[in-house]
Amino acid sequence: MAEFDSQKKYQEQEETFFDDGREIELLHFVYSKPDVEDVRDSPAKVLAAIDEFARTKKYLMNVGEDKGRIVTDLIAEVKPQVMVELGGYVGYSCILFGDAVRKAGGRRYFSLERNPEFAAVISSLVDLAGLGDIVKVIVGSSDDSIRRLHAKGALENIDLMFLDHYKPAYTTDLKLCEELKLVKPGSVLAADNVIKPGNPPYLEYVRSSVDQKKQANASSGTVNGVDSRFADRTAKQYFKREGEAKLDEKRVGNPLLVYESKLVHSFEPSGVPDAVEITRCVGAAES
């Protein structure tokens, strides 16, 4: 693994590090750049402007350059027609990966974001980057949005999914996608923040054998709730705005799907070590 380049370090992550007006400040920062016309239609320049804000003004909870490269390499290899991200924030991953999907010949990048203000920031920056033809920003809770897109026929399968939203919802949303047959053999998953802050229930699930998954479903009805292994800070990250998380504890997914999963180490844009879990659905067992 390459060293972290400290010149590129984001500002320190404060106690309150999002939803305090900085997302709108970012928009003003980007659009008031003297060379904004040069930035237009350039995903790389929009990303550079977002990075500049986070390095010189305020921390932003973006995937960042280093972990981002793990996923853009994956996009170049998988060549997804349809990619979905869970959690868009201000659009950094959406612009980086939407551009990579377009370059790889893909058709659609869905960015699912619950906070309508953040979703508006994503849409504005996606438009500036000239990615409006491929990116669709969907406002709402990820599980509702997945169900609605599926019911409308707008989403029939997911070639590549980037999970980067509420940490306890990674497993329940993956199971929902399995039940709707959106995730199936051939699908690939990239899950962010599996070291910082960590996601033991998700790692356990994607690394389990078919038998282990069947047993886990049989032995506990509450295994999908907000697991006690999450730190309180992680479990309550969106509490102030969204209230208590409502996760479907009864969701069983499709335990017959066979996954191959590996951890790829890297760094947060703040320099803190983290990793992306890359999971490939390689088949389905007989029931």
Ligand X SMILES: C[S@@+](CC[C@H](N)C(=O)[O-])C[C@H]1O[C@@H](n2cnc3c(N)ncnc32)[C@H](O)[C@@H]1O
Residues that bind ligand X in the complex, under the rule CB under 6 A: 61-63, 85, 87-89, 92-93, 112-115, 118, 141-142, 164-166, 169, 238
Q: How many helices (H) and strands (E) does the chain have?
A: 12, 7
Cβ(259)–Cβ(207) below 8 Å: yes
Cβ(86)–Cβ(162) below 8 Å: yes
3-state secondary structure of 25: helix
**Please, what is the minimum distance in Å from the beta carbon of residue 25 to ligand X?**
15
Whichever of 190 and 203 has its CB closer to ligand X, that residue is 190
**Please, what is the minimum distance in Å from the beta carbon of residue 252 to ligand X?**
20
Whichever of 108 and 114 has its CB closer to ligand X, that residue is 114
Whichever of 65 and 178 has its CB closer to ligand X, that residue is 65
Q: What does the alpha-carbon distance between residue 189 and residue 275 come to, in Å, rounded to a whole number?
A: 13
Whichever of 82 and 146 has its CB closer to ligand X, that residue is 146
Q: What does the alpha-carbon distance between residue 96 and residue 102 come to, in Å, rounded to a whole number?
A: 10
**Please, what is the minimum distance in Å from the beta carbon of residue 271 to ligand X?**
16
Q: What does the alpha-carbon distance between residue 94 and residue 105 come to, in Å, rounded to a whole number?
A: 16
**Please, what is the minimum distance in Å from the beta carbon of residue 59 to ligand X?**
12
Whichever of 4 and 17 has its CB closer to ligand X, that residue is 17
Q: Which amino acid is at 108?
A: R
**Please, what is the minimum distance in Å from the beta carbon of residue 64 to ligand X?**
7
Whichever of 12 and 286 has its CB closer to ligand X, that residue is 12
Written as one string, the DSSP assignment of 63-121 is -HHHHHHHHHHHHHHH--SEEEEE--TTSHHHHHHHHHHHHTT--EEEEEES-HHHHHH
Which tokens is 11 given? 């500002």
**Please, what is the minimum distance in Å from the beta carbon of residue 176 to ligand X?**
11
Q: Which residue's C-beta sits nearest to ligand X?
A: 87
